[in-house]
Amino acid sequence: MSEPLLRIRNLRASVDGQEVLKGIDLAVAAGEVAAIMGPNGSGKSTLSNVLAGRDGYEVTDGEVWYDGRDLLDMAPEERAAAGVFMAFQYPVEIPGVVNATFTRTALNAQRKARGESAIDAIDFLKRARETLGRLEMDEAFLRRDVNAGFSGGEKKRNEIFQMAVLEPRLAILDETDSGLDIDALRIVATGVNAMRDGQRALVVITHYQRLLEHVVPDSVHVLADGRIARSGDRELALELERAGYAAFQPA
Amino acid sequence: MTEAWLAGQRAAFAACRGALPGAGTPWVDALRAQAFRQFEEDGPPSPRIEEWRSGPTAALTGQVFAPTAPDGARPASVPASYLAGPRHRLVFVDGRFSAEHSDPGEPPTGARLTSLGTLLAEDPAAARELVGDPEAFAEERLSLVTDRRPQALVALNTALASDGAVLIVDDGVALPHPVEVVYLARAATDPSAHHLRTLIALGAGARANVVEVHAGGSGSVWTNHVTETALGAGARLEHVRADAGTRSAVRVDVAHARLHAGAAYAGFVMAGNTGAVRTETRLVLEGAGADGEINGLCLAGGASHIDALTRLDHRAREGTSRQLWRGVFGDEARGAFQGRIRVLSGASGTNAALDNRNLLLSTGARTESKPELEILTDDVACSHASATGQLDGDALFYLRSRGLSERMARAVLMEAFAGAVVDRIADDGVRAFVRRLVDDQLNVLGSTAS
């Protein structure tokens, strides 16, 4: 058995001196879709922020290995260049920065860091248009400022668009299903499923089961009170949908 | 120091007045003499004068800058044309017109593009017409619109102006191409002053686009530049004033414009000197339905100091005005913005907005913002806003999480911040030129910012 693409060992992390992650162990293999489910306050967003490298989260113990590298030792941009993508729960609005320019700048920054040649504007546009078509998104998206004035659903779709263009090896989707209507959910799921190629790993962090109806996970992990309380297969997600998180809540 | 400084200016005026353009023409001599007296009465700018509270007064009076006689030497190099497309180009070196480096082309019939020195020598009557009654001019005010004394530097400019661009456009005539005016200062060893006067007069319905660029300079140079503009009914002027990497110790840049009914002035200021800059824009909307726009970018790093002042007076009904000013300050830079909208009685139906935002890139940088509204009539819509902050940490993280280095992420956000002002420039070619200047300046700021 080869080493998993992502391995988290006894990860402990604090926010403002308060321990939120209390020893997480998780392994995600290349090609695997892992769902991390949990009630509010269980540590889901802290876990995603620690994996993305956001400031303000203090890792007090444990380690995170990605493709043989110490992920926690890498700057956010190094993680991106190494193939880690975070689809944010609350994507930031950046007025004055055009979406197409931004996405191409990001792609080329990553390619440069990997020693690859830059993609010119014409090839990029071609690639971007194909991706937009698959995601049933209007080309006007490219000309708009990054997330500025986007609806919640548009912001989530823009994250999926960026993911599709950047072609990460590990994508972490943080509550990507929240705030989506049925159509947007289906489009997002289509985009996510298109990323499944047997090599790429996906970590889907969610409160609800509904995205998992469209993006069928290989493994399901319940995060409760900062630990993985239980792991299973798709059936576990369905069970949670029926019974809720009551069994995992602190007494 | 002040006494020595004043004495230095007196000596300079005595030494050079006989050789200034128009010398020997009685009304010009009288105007210069009156202006110099007024300068002496007002004294040099000091922090005690409200409008100069945050101005670079110490840098200004720290050396006795005096006009220099032309030495006939040619500049080591003159910047290539800033505008890519067809343009009329006037180049001034150390405060004097350089025919050799200029390329005025052929302005359309009804448009006169020349230098102040040439105009005063060849057609003093036309110059007098531009100035109006010189007696009243000096007593009441120093330019067409300065409404409050003391304005010592405008007075000194009137007394000592050695040259400058002149554009006179007859009624209904439109210039198809922009006018590029380059004020190049050579590096100086002794403290040197260049007093430049630009005159722009557009007749009714006339249109022009003027880009004034400052370049060169050194720590011993003071540039004192006044641009006076009169816009006839329905005339439209686009007016850019920009620093192309100037290194002067102090650059004072004052624009005055008077707008008749239905006239439009679209002004843009880019201040990015490595020394100190004082930039003033004073617009008076005299006729009904006039439209004034003054936008500006102050980009400062190192130990530079940029002090911006706007005065936008609505004196007639149905006028509109917009002011969008942004500043980016890094290292130990200092900035200040004083902007005012004044709506006088009778100017009903006025719609005016002023917005000033500043980015501080380092803990050593400082700026202050003072927007003012003075409204003396009812039935107006005026707004003003001001904010100073740092680059948005969430946006920086978002960009980095997509693979941009921290430096790139900062550059992208700075460019977006400044770009919102640059985007207001209507002409594609001029906007592209200004964007290059701004990008260069932001690159310098980004490379030193923490």
Mean pLDDT is lowest, of A36-40, A78-82, B346-350, for A36-40
- A116 part of contact set with chain B, CB < 8 Å: no
The CA R_g of chain B, rounded to the nearest whole Å, is: 21
Model confidence over B148-173: pLDDT tens digits?
A: 666 889 999 999 999 999 999 999 99
ipTM field: 0.96
pLDDT above 50 for A55: yes
> What residue spans of A114-221 are helical by DSSP H?
121-134, 140-143, 152-166, 182-194, 210-214
**pLDDT tier for residue B23 given thresholds of 50, 70 and 90:** very high
Mean pLDDT of A202-214: 90
Q: Which of A55, A96, A106 comes nearest B403 by C-beta? A: A106
Residue B312 lies in a domain: yes
Angle at B299 between CA B297 and CA B302, to 5 degrees: 165
Q: A91 to chain B: which residues are within 8 Å by CB?
A: 398
For residue A235, give the nearest of A250, A222, A248 by alpha carbon: A222
Put simply, the answer to whether B400 touches A109 (Cβ < 8 Å) is no
pLDDT in tens, B243-288: 998 999 999 999 999 999 999 999 999 999 889 999 999 999 999 9
**Inter-chain residue contact A91 with B398, CB threshold 8 Å:** yes
> Residue B415's pLDDT band (boundaries 50, 70, 90)?
very high
Sign of CA dihedral B153, B158, B163, B167: positive
Identify the three-state secondary structure at position B81. coil
Interatomic CA distance for residues A49 and A4, integer angstroms: 21
The domains found in chain A, sorted by start residue, are 6-248 (3.40.50.300)
**Does residue B112 have a pLDDT over 90?**
yes
Answer whether the bond into residue B26 is a cis peptide, omega within 30°. no
The size of the A-B interface in CB pairs under 8 A is 73
Burial class (CB in 10 A: 0-12, 13-18, 19+), B247: middle
Q: Give the residue from B254, B302, B256, B258 showing the smallest Cα distance to B276.
A: B302
What's the confidence (pLDDT) of residue B132? 67
Low-confidence winner among A204-213, B100-109, B233-242 (lowest mean pLDDT): A204-213
Predicted local distance difference test score (pLDDT) of residue B141: 47
* Between residues A25 and B133, the one the model is more confident about: A25
Q: How many structural domains is chain B composed of?
A: 1
The verdict on residue B73 lying in a domain is: no
Q: Is the pLDDT of residue B122 over 80?
A: yes
**Coil, strand or helix at B76:** coil
Does pLDDT of B142 surpass 60?
no
CB A78 within 8 A of CB A66: no
A137 or B267, greater pLDDT: B267
Q: What is the pLDDT of residues A12-45, one digit of tens each?
A: 999 999 999 999 999 999 999 999 999 888 999 9
Q: Is B447 exposed, middle or buried (0-12, 13-18, 19+ CB in 10 A)?
A: exposed
CB < 8 Å to A94, chain B:
395, 398-399, 413, 416
Residue A61 near residue A226, CB atoms below 8 Å: no
In a domain, B285, yes or no: yes
Q: How far apart are CA B267 and CA B278, in angstroms?
A: 16
Q: Which chain B residues have a beta carbon less than 8 Å from that of A162?
A: 402
Query: Residues B2-10: what's their mean pLDDT?
Result: 92
Token couple for B125: 């009557």
Residues facing B308 on adjacent strands: B279, B337
Asked whether residue B292 is domain-assigned, the answer is yes
B205 has a pLDDT exceeding 50: yes
Instruction: Specify if B76 maps to a domain.
Output: no
Residue B140 has pLDDT above 50, yes or no: no
- Domain assignment present for residue B11? The answer is yes
Residue B328 lies in a domain: yes
Residue B308 is part of which domain span? Answer: 2-67+82-448
Contact B401 A80 (CB under 8 A): yes
From B419, which residue of chain A is nearest by alpha-carbon distance? A96
- Which pairs count as long-range contacts for A245-248, CB under 8 Å and 24+ apart, including other chains? A245/A38, A245/A39, A245/A42, A248/A38, A248/A39, A248/A42, A248/A222, A248/A224
Selection from A68, A66, A63 nearest residue A24 by Cα: A63
Instruction: Tell if the CB–CB gap between B416 and A76 is shorter than 8 Å.
Output: no
> What is the rounded CA–CA span in Å between residue B391 and residue B413?
7
